[in-house]
Structure 1
């Protein structure tokens, strides 16, 4: 995972940052949006699952690389190439990759929804991903089942609080990387 903080420390930092979003100053209540379950209209088809938080999709005949917004999964192993050094897989990376494939394998129709910023510094689309057949919120499921941790980067924080809550539940239930990577 792309952070120097330990998982629990990182979660605490993200929780603190996420707590700033969605607060109603008048009532003190939070206004975290929640996705609506059920089938959704697809606007892309999965072409490849790169790793736990990155996929390639086809949109109107064009392939796009998509980074799932609001989450971070452990890094899979990469071989060195050119001037880029390789790295070993992080704890639970292969499991996160496999779980992402189980949710949205090649050929799966999906709905991509963006937040405020559409692309990252690498040109990847930033999106919340929903499986079209049943509306499963893939980003959320990866966190809730313990395959990812929250990663909120302003201004794309629509579901930051939801992701932090999902991570707390996964950690409490001792599932996924919370059980395997202590």
Structure 2
């Protein structure tokens, strides 16, 4: 049975392993170099909003985190959500559970708006996941990223939290 918990520094290697294939083999993230486990440990230590892991018998199957939407003080109640699952965890309802728990904890922590930035040509499952969690389309930013030899758009999706 998989569990959802707050990320700890001990989870950094598993988080790095989940995320690396998305960086190297896809366009669903604009990262071009996979963050190291030490970089993930720093993110876990320095977080202001929830950072969750999905694990089964100690193996990290995915993670979800919220970060400040923008650094200016007036944005302090808005967060950007991020969620990634290991390939073997996809299509089993884990994404809905993990994103749902993240949104619940963000609201409890005082967030009022959640924003997802989805690469529109990367992974249509992400758009479906966010729509199922109550996110609606808020706009498209055209040709804002260049990765693997092509220009990419991002779809902004937004959900009211309270």
TM-score, structure 1 normalization:
0.30
Greater fraction of residues in strand: 2
* Structure of greater Rg: 1
Greater fraction of residues in helix: 2
